[in-house]
């Protein structure tokens, strides 16, 4: 591995709580491992669409957005499109992972991280979820028992997960964005 670059796909976004840990993890990996190639994956609907432009790294934006809560025509239309967006973003994630051939896929939660993690699980690529919140979101709870490793920031989070998790106290913050 010392002559070859470590290839890492890091996915997450939607909100800053899921996005900024993506950057903190990437920055730390690049500090520790000079030969590290990072590829970001997020949603074209999340705040990551703006922030990825500020970094000099490759990224992919998926056509996925979270399930809308509340009752309105707009939310109904958005939710009716969800299955189509899910399938197309999953297939896009599979093609991306085939092209990049990462050594590991890391997800920080949020709907943007679920499909790259799921595609990696199906392709037998090692996977890691880093959950920064004390109560894990839907994506983390859904995939926690299927990924290779789960890292959490709070000991209390363990009671919400069916899989053993590593507690790494604190939240990765990284530089200011």
Question: Per-residue pLDDT for 174 more than 70?
Answer: no
Q: How many domains does the chain have?
A: 1
Q: What's the mean per-residue pLDDT of the chain?
A: 88
Q: What is the DSSP string of 39-58?
A: EEEEETTSTHHHHGGGSSSE
> Which one-letter DSSP state was computed for residue 157?
G
Q: What percent of the chain has pLDDT over 70?
A: 93
Indicate whether 68 belongs to any domain. yes
Pair of tokens at residue 54: 């500020």
Mean pLDDT within 121-137? 93
CATH assignment of the domain containing 122:
3.40.50.2000
Indicate whether 84 belongs to any domain. yes
Indicate whether 98 belongs to any domain. yes
Write down the pTM of the prediction. 0.89
Question: Per-residue pLDDT for 58 more than 90?
Answer: yes
- In which domain, by residue range, is 149 found? 6-167
Mean pLDDT within 27-43? 91
∠ Cα 16 168 141 (to 5°): 60
Cβ atoms of residues 8 and 40 within 8 Å: no
Indicate whether 110 belongs to any domain. yes
Mean pLDDT within 6-32? 90
Q: What percent of the chain has pLDDT over 90?
A: 50
Please give the pLDDT value at position 177.
Answer: 44
Q: State the residue for tokens 């949603």.
A: 43
Q: How far is CA 74 from CA 14, 84, 105, in A?
A: 19, 16, 33
Indicate whether 118 belongs to any domain. yes
Task: Dump pLDDT digits (tens) for 92-116.
Answer: 999 999 999 999 999 998 888 999 9
How far is it, in rounded angstroms, from Cα 15 to Cα 159? 24
Question: Per-residue pLDDT for 77 more than 70?
Answer: yes
Mean pLDDT within 144-172? 82
Indicate whether 172 belongs to any domain. no
């Amino acid at each position: 591995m010392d002559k070859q670059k470590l290839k890492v796909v890091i996915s997450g976004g939607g909100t800053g709580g899921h996005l900024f840990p993506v950057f903190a993890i990437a920055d730390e990996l690049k500090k520790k491992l000079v030969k590290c190639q990072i590829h970001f994956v997020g949603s074209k609907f999340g705040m990551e669409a703006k922030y990825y432009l500020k970094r000099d790294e490759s990224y992919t934006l998926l056509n996925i957005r979270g399930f809308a809560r509340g009752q309105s025509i707009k939310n109904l239309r958005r939710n009716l499109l969800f299955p189509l967006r899910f399938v197309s973003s999953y297939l896009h994630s599979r093609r991306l992972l085939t092209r990049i051939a990462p050594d590991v896929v890391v997800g920080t939660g949020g709907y943007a991280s679920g499909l790259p993690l799921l595609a990696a699980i199906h392709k037998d690529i090692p996977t890691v979820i880093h959950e920064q919140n004390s109560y894990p979101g839907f994506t983390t709870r859904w995939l926690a028992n299927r990924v290779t490793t789960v890292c959490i920031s709070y000991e209390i989070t363990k009671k919400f997960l069916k899989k053993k998790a590593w507690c790494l106290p604190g939240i990765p913050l990284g530089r200011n964005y």
